[in-house]
């Protein structure tokens, strides 16, 4: 039986973004193994037939003793399972799996750079250390997939790819059947400005709150809602009590994202840097315009002046001005929402993205059937 191993920091990353492609391999008769943290989402994958290997990836940027243990654990898993294909997401899984596969030969490795995150937002010594890890590991991968052109340009400029092949596949896609377009033409009541994301400083929590406070004027100010999970083990974590005393509300984690987006009017996404934000694609699919910083990853999915607005990084007042303009001009935000939906349908439908992944695996000589589009 042919075997594929997926590696990611958390089971959520696979369950939320890669479920269709995992099902594709299962339906094709492959053994599918997930190397992830011990979490509920990983257990859900197990229920659908995925074999689970608990690998506690450290999510700090520096390489330490726990990473050495993970490396030898992955090496043991690869040696025992003899996978035909390895697909890794996130920095530590990418680096450690590429190094482990190099020791065993014959394993095809696809490494996806989902975003440079914490280490590269802060820059300095930590980003240099992460860069060294990529420089050493990526030449052992058969293909490196980038989710945005800025990250690819950085890796090429730094010489971290060298002999390794690379490909650009924008984002992880969005299920346009699940995230349906919502016609808001007859919507009444206070405008709702929402954000989806973990409570991390680099996601722009403080900036979101600041915009809410700037626009908290009059008898009926707009409603600002932040929805997302608390991630206390992340080095950039923010506590939920940061919303206390502000005009923004913490909505908490929600399992019904389409419903929340359907009740929203504008999507405010003040993140510092992304691979490609799935949240914006989901918001766009539902017909929301996005206001965001003009940063790597985000500029791939927001066409400024067409599907939303991009403003210079760090300019919170500019964010507030664009949000206010869309609040005051509902016809503009409705038209931008329609264009945002069209952009997602034509470029970011998850079926398109999954097809590109399967074509990439086939180009490596892996015998996997074409991705079938569900009608």
Say if 219 falls within a structural domain. Answer: yes
Same domain for 306 and 289: yes
Q: Are residues 147 and 230 in the same domain?
A: no
In a domain, 89, yes or no: yes
Q: Which structure tokens are listed for 54?
A: 């608990």
* Same domain (yes/no): 126, 243: no
pLDDT at 122: 54
- 336 and 268 inside one domain: yes
In terms of domains, do 22 and 126 share one? yes
Q: Give the predicted TM-score (pTM) of the model.
A: 0.87
**pLDDT score, position 62:** 57
* β-bridge partners, 269: 292
Residue-range definition of the domain harbouring residue 219 = 192-348
Q: Is residue 181 part of a domain?
A: no
User: Residue 119 domain-assigned?
Assistant: yes
Judgement on whether residues 339 and 353 belong to the same structural domain of the protein: no
pLDDT of res. 124: 56
**The pLDDT value given to residue 235:** 81
- Distance between CA 49 and CA 47 in Å, rounded? 6
Residues 202 and 123 in one domain: no
Q: Is residue 55 situated within a structural domain? A: yes
Do residues 274 and 298 both lie within one domain?
Answer: yes
Shared-domain flag, residues 98 and 228: no
| 357 shares a domain with 335 | no
Q: What is the pLDDT of residue 248?
A: 96
Cβ burial 29-52 (10 Å sphere, 16+ → b, else e): ebbbbbbbbeeebbeebeeeebeb
Q: Could you give the number of structural domains in the chain?
A: 2
CA nearest to 213, candidates 323, 299, 132: 323
Tell me whether residue 368 is in a domain: no
Alpha-carbon span 270 to 208, nearest angstrom: 7
Output the domain CATH number for residue 291.
Answer: 3.40.50.2000
- Residue 318 sits in the same domain as residue 338: yes
Residues in the chain where the model's pLDDT stays below 50? 375
Q: Are residues 37 and 141 in the same domain?
A: yes
Residue 372 lies in a domain: no
Contact 95, 72 (CB under 8 A): no
CA 5 – CA 22 distance, rounded (Å): 10
Residue 73 lies inside a defined structural domain of this protein: yes
């Amino acid at each position: 039986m042919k075997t594929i191993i997926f590696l990611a920091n958390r089971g959520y990353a696979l369950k939320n973004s890669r479920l269709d492609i995992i099902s594709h391999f299962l339906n094709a008769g492959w053994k599918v193994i997930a190397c992830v943290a011990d979490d509920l989402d990983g257990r859900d994958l197990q229920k659908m037939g995925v074999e689970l290997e608990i690998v506690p990836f450290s999510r700090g940027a520096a390489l330490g003793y726990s990473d050495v243990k993970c490396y030898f654990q992955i090496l043991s898993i690869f040696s025992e399972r003899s996978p035909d294909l390895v697909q890794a997401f996130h920095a530590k899984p990418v680096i450690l799996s590429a190094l482990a596969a190099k020791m065993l030969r014959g394993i095809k490795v696809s490494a996806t750079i989902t975003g440079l995150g914490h280490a590269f937002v802060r820059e300095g010594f930590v980003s240099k250390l992460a860069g060294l890890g990529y420089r050493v590991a990526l030449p052992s991968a058969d293909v490196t997939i980038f989710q945005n052109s800025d990250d690819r340009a950085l890796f090429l400029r730094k010489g971290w790819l060298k002999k390794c092949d690379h490909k650009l596949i924008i984002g992880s896609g969005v299920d346009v059947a699940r995230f349906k377009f919502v016609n808001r033409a007859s919507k009444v009541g206070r405008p709702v400005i929402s954000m989806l994301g973990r409570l991390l400083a680099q996601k722009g929590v403080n900036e979101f709150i600041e915009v809410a406070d700037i626009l908290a004027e009059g008898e009926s100010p707009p409603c600002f809602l932040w929805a997302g999970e608390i991630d206390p083990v992340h080095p950039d974590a923010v506590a939920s009590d940061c919303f206390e005393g502000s005009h923004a509300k913490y909505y908490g984690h929600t399992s019904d994202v389409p419903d929340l987006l359907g009740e929203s009017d504008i999507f405010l996404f003040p993140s510092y840097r992304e691979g490609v934000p799935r949240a914006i694609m989901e918001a766009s699919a539902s017909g929301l315009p996005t206001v965001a910083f003009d940063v790597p990853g985000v500029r791939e999915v927001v066409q400024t002046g067409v599907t939303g607005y991009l403003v210079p990084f760090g300019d919170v007042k500019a964010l507030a001005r664009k949000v206010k303009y869309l609040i005051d001009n509902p016809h503009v935000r409705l038209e931008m929402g329609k264009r945002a939906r069209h952009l997602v349908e034509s470029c970011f439908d998850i079926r398109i993205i999954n097809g590109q992944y399967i074509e990439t695996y086939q180009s490596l000589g892996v015998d996997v059937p074409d991705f079938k589009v569900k009608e």
